[in-house]
Amino acid sequence: MSHIITPDICDAHPQVEVLDPIFVNCGGPDAFYGPIRTVKCFEDNSRIKEAVAEPGEGAVLVVDAGGSTRCAVLGDMLAEQAAGNGWAGIVIYGCVRDIDVLAETDLGIQALGTHPRKSEKHGEGQRDVDVTFAGVTITPGQWLYADNNGILIADDRLPLEN
């Protein structure tokens, strides 16, 4: 994967959208990018579990968990499964848990924060729908670029310099 620096991407591609700076880096890689797939859920990670069980093919899973800070929708087992299935990263508008293990996982992860309580599993939520949070509407098929500086959304894959 090419090394990315989001400030440089913003300078070269001013049309990109920038998510509000509310996320923290929780995964192993500091930077990641890929085509977007989405999940919309609230305190139920059933659809996330379905998605990470499938081949990621370098995609980034963008999860609108409603901004909930009452439980985590991603933990070590799902993160390790996502990494093993070729996902580049996961961005969660919600919380994660097992932070020490996530930091050692070969998966880019950004979330609002951490919470020790697991989510419910009732099979609720939607996949591959537009989601809106952090000031941006995100559509499956767009591209996400993330590092410690922030998270960017582009309509198409951007040419990156190595």
pLDDT digits (tens, 9 = 90+) for 45-96: 999 999 999 999 999 999 999 999 999 999 999 999 999 999 999 999 999 9
Q: How many residues does the chain have?
A: 162
Find out whether 144 is annotated in a ligand binding site. Answer: no
- Does the pLDDT at position 143 exceed 70? yes
Find out whether 76 is annotated in a ligand binding site. Answer: yes
H-helix or E-strand spanning residue 138: strand 136-138
Find out whether 61 is annotated in a ligand binding site. Answer: no
Residue 92 CA from chain centroid, whole number: 5
Find out whether 97 is annotated in a ligand binding site. Answer: yes
Find out whether 160 is annotated in a ligand binding site. Answer: no
Give 2's pLDDT tier (boundaries 50, 70, 90). low
Q: Domain spanning 17-154 has what CATH number?
A: 3.50.30.40
Pairing of strands 136-138, 131-133: antiparallel
Residue 70 CA from chain centroid, whole number: 19
* Domain locations in the chain as residue ranges: 17-154
Residue 34 has a pLDDT of 98
Average pLDDT over residues 97-126: 97
CA dihedral 70, 19, 40, 154 (to 10 degrees): -160
